Amino acid sequence: MKHILSGGLVLILVVAAVLLRSSMYVVTETEQVIITQFGKPVGEPIKEAGLHFKQPFVQKVNTVEKRILEWDGKRTEMPTRDKLYISVDTFGRWQITDPLVFFKRLRDQRSAQSRLDDILGSETRNAIAKHDLIEVIRTTSGRIPSKDETLVASGSGSSNIGVLHPISKGRKLIEQEIQAAAREKLAVFGIELLDVRFKRINYNPSVVEKIYERMISERQQIASRFRSEGEGEAAKILGNRQKDLSVIDSEAYRAVQEIRGAADARATEIYAQAYNKTPESRDFYAFLKTMETYRSAIDKETTVLFSTGTELFRYLNSASGKQD
C-alpha cells in the first residue's frame, strides 16, 4: 500500500511538472509573442521580456521578431523614362510594429520577405520609369558635379557636349519616394518600412555597347571641334602675319622712297650750287647732261632724226664742223 501511494505521488509530481513546464514560457528582449489557441490568436501580443504563463497543451507560443530586419532585393532590369535599360539592386530595413496584424496576415518572416519583394520591387520599377537616368545616378539636385570646362561647347550653344543636364530630384529623393509609396502598402501588414536605398545601378549589357559608341561619338565631335578651332586660329595667325609683312614692306618702301627723294633733292641742290656759279659752269653742265643723254639714247644700231633747230642736235652739229 505504501509503495502504491509513493508511486502515485511520483506520478502526480511528474504530471504537475509537465503541466507547469507546458504552461510557462520566456519572452526575450528581442522577441514579442502571439498566443494562439487551436490556431487562432488569443489576447494581446506579449511584448514585455520575462517569464509568462499560458494554458498548457491547448495554447501555443508564436514568437515574432522585435529587432530591425533587413531586406535585400534581387537585381532587376528595368527601363528609365529616357528608354535606357538599367540593372537596379536595392536593399531596405523594416520592423514589425504590429505583431498581431503581422501574424494574422503573414504568419512568418518568409511570407513577409516575399511580400516585400513584390511591393518594393513594384514601387522601384514605377519610380525608375518616371525619371531619367541622370536623376537616378545623381545624388541630389543641389549637388554641383565637377566637369571639364574644355568639353563644354562654346558659341551659339548648338552642341551640348560635356554639359550635364539639370535635375529636379536626384537619387536621394527618388529613394524617399519609393519608401513613402511602399510604406503605406506595408502598414496594413503590421510592418514599418524604415529605409530603402539603391545598392547598385548598372547599365544593361545589351546597351553598354551603345553607350560606348555614344561616348566615342562625343569624343570625336570634341576632337573635330578642337581641330576646326585650331585650323581657324592657324588661318588667323597666317593672315595677321601676311598683313604685318605687307605693312612692313609698304612702310619700308615709303621710307626708301623718302630717303631716295631726299637724297636726289640734296644731290640736285649740290649740282645746282656747283654748276650755277658762272656762265661757263652752266654751259659745261648742259654739255655733260647732253652727253649723258647721247650715251643712254644712242648706240650703233640706233637711227635718230633730229630737227636742225633742236637743242639736242646742237652739239652733234658742232662736232661735224657746222655752226648754227
* DSSP for residue 157: S
pLDDT-wise least confident of 46-50, 52-56, 118-122, 291-295: 291-295
For residue 104, which of 179, 185, 46, 45 has the smallest C-alpha distance?
Answer: 45
- The pLDDT mean for the chain works out to 81
Work out the pLDDT band at 83, boundaries 50, 70, 90. Answer: confident
Give the pLDDT band (50/70/90) at residue 38.
Answer: confident
When mean pLDDT is compared over 128-142, 191-205, 278-292, 307-321, the highest value belongs to 191-205
pLDDT tens track for 101-136 = 999 999 889 999 999 999 999 999 999 999 888 888
Mean pLDDT of the region 22-46: 86
The backbone torsions φ and ψ at residue 87, rounded to the nearest 5 degrees and listed phi first, read: -105, 120
Task: Please determine, for residue 266, whether its predicted confidence score (pLDDT) is greater than 60.
Answer: yes
Show Cβ contacts of residue 223 under 8 Å, excluding neighbours closer than 6 positions: none
Lowest mean pLDDT among 38-42, 163-167, 175-179: 163-167
pLDDT band at 292 (very low <50, low <70, confident <90, very high): confident
CATH architecture of 69-203: 2-Layer Sandwich (3.30)
Residues contacting residue 241 through CB under 8 Å, at least 6 positions apart: none
46: which DSSP letter?
Answer: E
Q: Please tell me the predicted confidence (pLDDT) of residue 48.
A: 87
Model pLDDT for residues 223-262, shown as the tens digit of each residue: 888 899 899 999 999 999 999 999 999 999 999 999 998 9
Residues 132-161, mean pLDDT to the nearest whole number: 61
Domain ranges of the chain: 2-65, 69-203, 208-275, 279-324
The string of DSSP codes covering 137-175 is HSS-TT------GGGS--TTS---TTPPPP-SS-HHHHH
Return the minimum-mean-pLDDT range out of 3-12, 49-58, 68-77, 199-208: 3-12
Single-letter residue type at 5: L
pLDDT, greater one: 195 or 315: 195
Contact 64, 115 (CB under 8 A): no
3-class SS at 233? helix
**pTM of the shown model:** 0.58
Q: Provide φ and ψ at 57, rounded to 5°.
A: 70, -45
Residue 92 has pLDDT above 50, yes or no: yes
